[in-house]
Amino acid sequence: MKTSTDRMLTRIKSIYLYIKQRGTVTTNELVEEFGITQRTIQRDLNVLEYNKLVESPTRGKWSVTKKKTRVS
């Protein structure tokens, strides 16, 4: 059984990959796609933003930055 930290990291990785694939997405689109609350999505986006992996050029819209990543 995965710990809550493992689940959170897996979810954040999935969100990042989803945004990378789609280009620009809205917070509401992420809520619908992942079936979790807007508050949880916002916390996950804050983690990604803190690590300079995503940015919000317009309120409520998100896109990935040019920071190089290696997804394992």
Q: Where are the domains of the chain?
A: 2-64
Contact yes or no for 14/34 (Cβ under 8 A): yes
pTM of the model: 0.89
- The alpha carbons of the chain give a radius of gyration, in whole angstroms, of 12
Does position 1 have pLDDT exceeding 70, yes or no?
A: no
The H or E element spanning position 62 is: strand 61-64
Of 60 and 22, which is predicted with more confidence?
22
Of 28 and 1, which is predicted with more confidence?
28
User: Quick one: fold of 2-64?
Assistant: Arc Repressor Mutant, subunit A (1.10.10)
Contact yes or no for 2/11 (Cβ under 8 A): no
pLDDT averaged over the chain? 92
Q: Which residues pair with 58 in a beta bridge?
A: 61
Side by side, which strands form the sheet with 61-64?
24-26, 61-64, 54-58
pLDDT in tens, 2-33: 788 899 999 999 999 999 999 999 999 999 99
Tokens describing residue 15: 């969100």
